[in-house]
Amino acid sequence: MDKSEKTGIDRRGSRRRPILESFSFFVVVPKKGFHRLRVVDLSDTGVGFDYDIIGEMKEAFPVKAGEVFELQFYLNQTLFFPMHVKVARIDDSKVIRRIGAEFTATGTPEHQGLIAVLDMIDKVSEIVQFDSTPG
């Protein structure tokens, strides 16, 4: 096991936290309209998410590395943090493109709020148990 596997810190220099599906976080890119885009991972410095929805043509919403745009990070159906991100990586090897983006501003109230959510996830993930009963 290498150091990054032990600490969860990867090439970005910050800890990656896999998102538990039960939290149901999603993002919206306002310039694309209100489409819930799945969050793949989240760290102190950025977010990974699916950029497309099923059936959407990639040409309809081009994106390039270095591009900065508004992103709304939803905690539930109605509560979100408005953020700005800079595209660091694009994986377009599949039907749905996956974006790795960095937060453009840290230390803002929005970023601090997101960090508080991450801290809660860290604390809860140490003690939480999953209900495996069917139903």
pLDDT tens per residue across span 100-116: 999 999 999 999 999 99
Contact between 52 and 38 (Cβ < 8 Å): no
Average pLDDT, the chain: 86
pLDDT of residue 80: 97
80 domain-assigned: yes
**Diameter of the chain by CA atoms?**
45
111 domain-assigned: yes
77 domain-assigned: yes
Query: Which of these, 91, 97, 99, lies nearest to 49 by C-alpha position?
Result: 99
Q: How far apart are CA 57 and CA 130, in angstroms?
A: 37
Question: How many structural domains are present in the chain?
Answer: 1
Range of the domain at 84: 3-125
Contact between 40 and 49 (Cβ < 8 Å): yes
Q: How far apart are CA 127 and CA 113, in angstroms?
A: 22
133 domain-assigned: no
Q: How far apart are CA 60 and CA 32, in angstroms?
A: 9
At 106 the three-state DSSP class reads coil
Q: What tens digit of pLDDT does each residue of 27-51 get?
A: 999 999 999 999 988 889 999 999 9
Q: What tens digit of pLDDT does each residue of 66-91 get?
A: 999 999 999 999 999 999 999 999 99
| The model's pTM | 0.82
